[in-house]
Every structure is written in C-alpha cells, then in structure tokens.
Amino acid sequence: MSRDPVPLGTSRLASLGEGVAVPGYDRAGLAPGIVHLGVGGFHRAHEARYVDELLAGGGARDWGICGVGVRPEDQRMRDVLRAQDHLYTLVERHPDGSADARVIGSLVDYLFAPDDPEAVVEQLAAPTTRIVSLTITEGGYHLRPGDGEFDTEDPEIRRDLEPGAPPRTAFGLATEALRRRRARGLAPFTVLSCDNIEENGHVARRAFEGFAELRDPSLAAWISEAVAFPNSMVDRITPATTDEDRSFVAEAFGIADGWPVLCEPFSQWVIEDRFSAGRPPWEDAGVQVVDDVRPYELMKLRLLNAGHQVLAHLGTLAGHTFVHETSENPAFADLLLGYLEHEAGPTLDPVPGVDLGDYRRTLLSRFGNASIADTLARQRVDASERIPKFLLPVLREQLRTGGEIRRATLAVAAWAHCAAGVDDQGRPIELVDVRREEIRAAAARQRDDPEAMLSLGMFAGLRDDPRFVDAFVTSLKSLQTGGARAALDA
C-alpha cells in the first residue's frame, strides 16, 4: 500500500481499508463475562474470535473478555493491547497465498497480575464473571511427571501458599476469587481449560482442587461440588507472531498493529456442555457443544498434535526449519501418513460426524500451508510435556494390542537425539524445555548408555517394555550413526 499504515485503535477503525472487517457492534458497555488467563496468539485466534463472531451477530453482550497476564513477560502484551484499545488484527492465511483480515473487538480489558493481583482477584470475583478460561500451556498446571498428580512442592505453588502472600499463579488468583465468591454468596464461575491436554477439564480440576486442598480443605470441598470444569478440544494452527508478520499486516492491509495474530483458516472447538453459571450461545458461532468430548479430543491429540511431534524432531535433525517444508518432503510425508494410519489410527474410536480418513488427509494440507510458516522450533518447545500427552499414549496402546510402533518410537528417539544439541550437519539445536537441565544431563550419557533418556519420569512403564526399549535403542543408534534420512530409510 502506498499510504502509511493506520495505527490500530477505536477512533481509527473507519480509516481502515474496505478489505478489512471491523467490529460493527458497539464495544462500549460490553460486560466481561469471561476472564481469560494467559492471553497469547492462540486465545486471540480461537476463543476471542468465536466471541467476536457472536457479538457481530448482535448477541452475547454480557460475554466480553477481560484478559489477564500472569507471567512477568506478559507486560508487553498489556502495553500493546492498551495502546490499541485492546483491538488486534486476526489474519487467516490460505494455502494459495491469499489472506483475510479481521479486527477483533471481543477483548474489552487486560489486567497484569504482577502489577496488581488484587485487581485481578476482584475481577475474577465480580458477579459479571461467569467463565474463567485458561491457556497456560501444558506445563502451567504444575503436575508431576509420571503420575500426573498436582505438584504440592512446586516453588511457585509454595510461595502462593505463604501466609499473607499476594497470589501470583493462576491457581492462587482464581482460588482466592472463589473463596471470596463463596463468602459473598455468589455462584462459582466455570473453569474452562483451552490447553492441548487430554481431558483438560479433568486436569484443571485436579490442579485447582489440589491447590485449594493445601490452602483450605473446606474450600476444596466446595470447589469439588460446585465448580464445573468442562473438557474441551481446541484446534487451530497459530504460529508465534514475528516482525515479518507485523510488516505483512502493515503492507497488505494498511494496519500498524503491534501484535497481530496470523493463523490457518481451519478452526474447531468442541466443548462439553457442563457450566456452573451459564455460557454464551457458542453453537451460533460454529462451536460443537457435546456431551462427550473425548473422541474428538483423542483424534486431535493423537493425529494433529502427535503428528507435529513426528515431524518436528526428525525434521530438525535433517536441517529443515518449517513444518510445511518437512511435510512436503516425500520421505517425511510417508512417515507421517504411516504413523497416522497404522499407529495412531488403530487407537481411536469412531468420532461422531467425522471421517477419520478425510481428517488425516486434511492434516497433510494443513501442515503443508506455506503461508503459515509454522516452525519446527515452536513444535519442539516443552516437548517433554507434549510427547507424554500426544505420542506416548499411542505407544502404550499399540504395545498393549501388539500394533505397530516403529514410527512413533523413531520420533521419540529423534527427540532424544535432538537433546544432544546438534543436527546431522553439526549445527546447534536449542533446547527450550521446562526440564532442560534434566534432559541435557541424560542426553550427555546417551553415547555410552543408549537407554539414558528412558530414565526420565515420562517413560515410567515404557522403560520396562522390552519391545519398546529395543525399538528405541535401534532407532537412536540409527540416528547417531547415519542421521535422520538413514533412520527414515531403515
């Protein structure tokens, strides 16, 4: 565009180009019925987008969203959104290179907990707040590796439990708000996890009740009885925003947006219909509200999320950077299709209204969307949390039934080999993981002890299965001696 991009803000919406959809509803007076902890790209491409759709249709005016930043690094999100009246640009990028832009107006406020935890607690405790949703990542639930129970000794949790300490974690903030609601005679809010975790509602319940039990057993009992924790399945590939993305939005749509969100066109949300104090009419925006989320959830976790893990570590070793270039490599495409059909597929029950064969084929198209430019590095972040939730359940089920395990085991071995720190060309691989030191220490022993990584808690049970151990060691040695391509050929 020839003219200077327009800084995003309420008073400047009319100045945006005709090709950009903007809120046609009056944002003034929207009630924040939802408080969302952990506002990032995915929340803004997903839940906030669905609420915006309802608002555009003339309803849901008591379901605006107040975002909350819990971590110190969330300060930048606060500053960017505040400067833009909490508006942002959502861009859907299609495989043919075209793109559609929409300014989202459903986020009406943003609070930064490290600055003022009391303001956050009071917003959570406000009568208008009826849903508290979460995207705090797999590691944010403070569960122990291995048994998956709430980690009562986690330093952040212990700090929140000190007498008189201001709450800093999501659990400390929300539990204090629930305590106040109970004392004030208010109904509890629903806790809605939007994280990629199997049975995420049950996981959230286990974590919140575990924290509350440490603080006040009677409050924990009330939460157990009164608070709904619906399971949900969320699906939309949303890479982290880059400076190139900001430049693209400025050049293609004439918008100066400090933190736009770029994502794929595909979006799916399946929610268990279990709420403490009502919910928006999400069905009107295309959300599937069902009695049982599990078939949809396992489909997504074991096909899409696990499929990313199958590609991410092997692709990195082979020198690839992006998901699309890896999936377009015939050897990797064959590996992925083989995993989806012969290893993950047999572990899934029928999914109502879904043809699993079509879903698998759709994944290849989604992974191959070069416009998204999703990086393998993003998929490798906190892999010690992702692999146990996405890949290891497939391995355990296939071992139980005598099914194929070669491809999933190769992906796990590739993760272990990546942890050694170099790819097949000798270039460094950065390890970004909540268990970085533990993983690095085990990886350093792999040359002499190929089973070293299996000592990690995530492999409890699997390390005692001779078939898995043999396949893992064979794959790891193949990667160590010949690299990713040789291991694929083998």
**Measured distance CA(299)–CA(234) in Å, rounded:** 11
The pLDDT assigned to 144 comes to 84
Cα dihedral 167, 172, 175, 179 sign: negative
Indicate if the pLDDT at residue 312 is higher than 90: yes
* Intra-chain end-to-end CA distance of the chain, in Å: 51
Same domain, 279 and 298: no
- Residue 142 contacts residue 199 (beta carbons within 8 Å): no
SS3 359: helix
Same domain, 265 and 298: no
The pLDDT assigned to 197 comes to 87
Residue 112: inside a domain:
yes
Residue 175: inside a domain:
yes
Residue 1: inside a domain:
no
Within 8 A by CB and 6+ apart from 256, the residues are: 4, 5, 6, 7, 8, 250
What confidence category does residue 147 fall into, taking pLDDT thresholds of 50, 70 and 90? confident
What confidence category does residue 1 fall into, taking pLDDT thresholds of 50, 70 and 90? very low
Helices (H), 339-429: 356-367, 376-380, 383-390, 392-401, 406-418
Compute the average pLDDT of residues 316-327: 97
Same domain, 60 and 178: yes
Indicate if the pLDDT at residue 265 is higher than 70: yes
Compute the average pLDDT of residues 323-342: 96
Give the sheet arrangement for strand 190-193, strand by strand.
107-112, 65-69, 34-37, 131-134, 190-193
Same domain, 439 and 417: yes
Residue 402, domain CATH: 1.10.1040.10
Q: Dump pLDDT digits (tens) for 406-458.
A: 999 999 999 999 999 999 999 999 999 989 999 999 999 999 999 999 999 99
Percentage of the chain exceeding pLDDT 70: 99
Percentage of the chain exceeding pLDDT 90: 94
> What's the token pair of residue 390?
């996405």
What confidence category does residue 266 fall into, taking pLDDT thresholds of 50, 70 and 90? very high
Same domain, 204 and 242: yes
Last residue of a domain, one of 275, 290, 305: 290
The pLDDT assigned to 395 comes to 98
CA–CA distance from 185 to each of 126, 179, 181, 216 (Å)?
12, 10, 6, 18
Domain containing residue 235: 6-290
3-state DSSP: the chain helix, strand, coil percent, rounded to 5? 50, 15, 35
Q: Dump pLDDT digits (tens) for 234-260.
A: 999 999 999 999 999 999 999 999 999
Residue 408: inside a domain:
yes
SS3 347: helix
Last residue of a domain, one of 250, 266, 290: 290
Compute the average pLDDT of residues 267-296: 97
Last residue of a domain, one of 270, 290, 310: 290
Angle at 327 between CA 322 and CA 331, to 5 degrees: 125
Mean pLDDT (the chain) is 96
Count of domains for the chain? 2
Q: What is the largest CA-CA distance in the chain?
A: 66
**Measured distance CA(174)–CA(160) in Å, rounded:** 12
> What's the token pair of residue 213?
């039990």
Indicate if the pLDDT at residue 36 is higher than 80: yes
Indicate if the pLDDT at residue 465 is higher than 60: yes
Same domain, 485 and 410: yes
Residue 22: inside a domain:
yes
Same domain, 234 and 363: no
Residue 99, domain CATH: 3.40.50.720
Same domain, 226 and 308: no
Same domain, 274 and 367: no
Compute the average pLDDT of residues 150-172: 94
**Measured distance CA(66)–CA(31) in Å, rounded:** 9
> What's the token pair of residue 421?
């720190």
Report residue 49 CA to chain centroid gap: 16
The pLDDT assigned to 320 comes to 97
The pLDDT assigned to 249 comes to 98
Same domain, 233 and 306: no
What confidence category does residue 2 fall into, taking pLDDT thresholds of 50, 70 and 90? low
SS (H, E, C) 89-111: EEEEECCCCCEEEEEECCEEEEE
